Chain A
Amino acid sequence: MLEIKDLHVEVEGEGIEILKGVNLTVNKGEIHAIMGPNGSGKSTLAKIVAGHPEYEVSKGDILYNGESILELDPDERAHAGVFLAFQYPVEVPGVTNNTLLRESYNTIAASRGREELDPLEFDDYLRDKLELVDMNPDFLERSVNAGFSGGEKKRNEIFQMAVLEPTLSLLDETDSGLDIDALRIVADGINKLHGEDDAVVLITHYQRLLNYIVPDHVHVMIGGKIVKSGGKELAIELEEKGYDWLETHATVNGEAK
């Protein structure tokens, strides 16, 4: 579903290289976890897949369902089924959650050849999805993320994911900021949404999340590269040992190159 090949990414126009040759393959039905120290490039990877204009691919490619998506605008990628849950969800004062979701749902539905829902049907549809993440319907009439608490913003991201039904979900630190109960609820929601035909990439700092959402593969990103991949045990090992033992490895690799 997603193939990232020797991806080098710079900050647009500034020549600062952030990703230095990332390789990653995600297949249908899989859950991947990406871990790694602060500033290692995890969010950048998620954003470049979603098409953030601040970054530029200087080398390599991103294939989605076998085709390069580098030339697609962020909305075209969303139409194709890519979804990014932001590490820092953006506040959009004046645009209600309801407006955003109706607009998004219908454009995505139209581009995928699905029926648009009329307002009443859409309301029912939203209610179901709200239940999935145990969110109060009052949030529908509030401006997107404006004045939401940190945890509410994260929950709102997963609510949007539930509504838009993406095929590739990139969830950037969705667990950060959630209380213990919320973490369980959101994790349950993600598990319910995940099926054979879609894939999830989780970015997280905590092994705890992975007790709820069990990954098929765990990757460690350091210094703009994936330096190690493994099964879910790798997360436990990282929890115990930290990243030091891998960082030397990364540097050696870097110099060798």
Chain B
Amino acid sequence: MALATRIEPSILHKLAKYAPESENSVWTEIRTKSLKELNSTAFPHRKIEEWIFTDLRPIVRTDFVPLEEAGTFPATDIEKYFIPESDRSRLVFINGKFHEKYSSIGGLGKGVTVGNLADHSDEEEVQKYLNNLVNYENDVFVQYNGLMFEDGAYIHLEKGAKAEAPIQVLNLYTDAKNPFVATPRMLVVSEEESDVTIIEDHIGLGENRYMTIPVCEVKVKERAHIHHVRIQRDSIDAIHVSRPIAYVEKNSEYHSYTITLGAKLTRNEPRVIQEDEEVDFTLDGLVLIDGEQIADTHSVMDHRFSHADSHQLHKVVVNGKAHSIFNGKIFVRRDAQKIDSFQENRNLLLSEDGLVNTKPQLEIFADDVLCSHGATIGQLDPEEVFYLQSRGMTEEKAKEVLTYAFALETIENVKVESVHKLLIDEVYRYTKANSESKVTV
């Protein structure tokens, strides 16, 4: 505790005293541990290597209040965010709280359990994995989530179970008088040979400032497959700090696609950790930002065993004064041979005032590996613009088409039809809005 006194208390430290009580021993234990760690962990700042490019002022300078005091407005007209494929496989959270009346969980077939974490605290998997997969040393955000969350999404597939429909985990954030902090939580345990598609959606209903800190733990057991789509459509003034982590076992596959559209400040730290041989995983991302948005992805792909196939295509379009940061760490441990790892960060800079920092980071300790990695920062190719113009498209249209084409590649693999379409619409909206504002080649 001597250490604790040396820490400059951040807003998260200050809000810690509002942590809810729980009679449930699992939750109590997580809270006790989280609080202890939080008390001895400092809030990050730009002198720390991992935060060097990220402007944290939107967090530091906001007086967040406990959710109860935020004066939230009701969530209305939310049905339009329901995806039809998940008509009977949907969980809805509003500001992190589970809402049964909007949720629907009857349509998944045998061996699939979907529900609110708080209602499944007795289950073995919850006790075993919850808060034990996520491991962000010195991470106040994870600690804060651990201290505060009550509800969360729980998805469990028994051995051999195949979810008959994609599961939509819909996180809505309401307009409010004062800025609040939400702590959505998710645990996915996919037993041997199971198969599931998850659509995790974060949507801001207003234009207000709030901070959401989603923590998502995923366990993919032997020969199981998970397709995980994460869409971030937070309010334009929101702060989104997310920690999704997946552990992949032998012969399993985990494919995740993260689409970042909203929020004033995003810090996304996806991690995939290999637990055995013969795995296949994807950590693709698409970021479309404008205005004064900051979107930061710090990812880790940790190859600990032989025979892994990993893929990370991170595409970014920056307009206005927006700022993109990418740091992609690829670890290949000493005994991890026959690794085939692909990583590429491609940035399209549409404006003169946009900013891109990119740092692919390979740390390879094995010798029989194939790692390709690269980063490019470019503008639209004037020859391509001229070519399309010579075919009759206006300059604006040509730029729009080219931007659209650039962005589309990353969402091609999203296999839920309505979501794929929704994302195409989002890309279209972005490119359209941008071609109407000033764009420089």
Contact = CB atoms under 8 A, between A and B. Distances in A.
B390 A92 contact: no
Interface in B385-399: 386-395, 397-398
B393 A103 contact: yes
Contacts of B401: 95, 99, 103
Contact of B388 (A79, A92, A108, A143): A92
Given A52-B386, A90-B384, A73 B391 contact: no
Interface residues of B, number: 23
A202 interface: no
B394 A95 contact: no
Q: Is the interface of B mostly helix, strand, loop or mixed?
A: helix
A158 to B, nearest CB: 13
Contacts of A107: 392-394, 397
A50 B390 CA distance: 7
B408 interface: yes
A164 interface: yes
Contacts of B386: 52-53, 74, 90
Nearest to B404: A94
A51 B390 contact: yes
B405 to A, nearest CB: 3
A55 to B, nearest CB: 11
A38 to B, nearest CB: 20
A152 interface: no
A104 B389 contact: no
B428 interface: no
Contacts of A73: 389, 394-395
B390 A78 contact: yes
Nearest to A103: B393
A100 B384 CA distance: 12
A79 B381 CA distance: 22
B405 A75 contact: no
B174 to A, nearest CB: 37
A229 to B, nearest CB: 27
Nearest to A99: B401
Contacts of B383: 90
B406 A94 contact: yes
Given A75-B394, A78-B391, A104-B393, A95 B402 contact: yes
A164 B395 CA distance: 18
Contacts of B406: 94
Contacts of A111: 392
Nearest to A85: B390
A54 to B, nearest CB: 8
A100 B392 CA distance: 10
A107 B391 CA distance: 9
Contact of A75 (B389, B402, B408): B389
Contacts of A50: 390
Interface string A86-99: 10011011110001
A153 to B, nearest CB: 12
B441 to A, nearest CB: 9
Contacts of B398: 75
A100 B388 contact: yes
A167 B345 CA distance: 44
Given A84-B390, A90-B384, A103 B405 contact: no
A44 interface: no
B409 interface: yes
A92 B392 contact: no
A160 interface: yes
A74 B409 CA distance: 28
Contacts of B395: 73, 75
B391 A100 contact: yes
Nearest to B401: A95
A78 B409 contact: no
A95 B406 CA distance: 9
Nearest to A160: B391
Contacts of A90: 381, 383-384, 386-387
29 contacts: A52-B386, A53-B382, A53-B386, A73-B389, A74-B389, A74-B390, A75-B389, A75-B390, A75-B392, A75-B393, A78-B390, A84-B390, A86-B387, A90-B381, A90-B387, A92-B402, A92-B405, A93-B405, A94-B405, A95-B388, A95-B401, A95-B402, A100-B388, A104-B392, A105-B392, A107-B393, A107-B397, A143-B405, A164-B391
Q: Return the 6 tightest CB-CB contacts between A and B, nearest first.
A: A94-B405, A74-B389, A90-B387, A78-B392, A104-B391, A104-B392
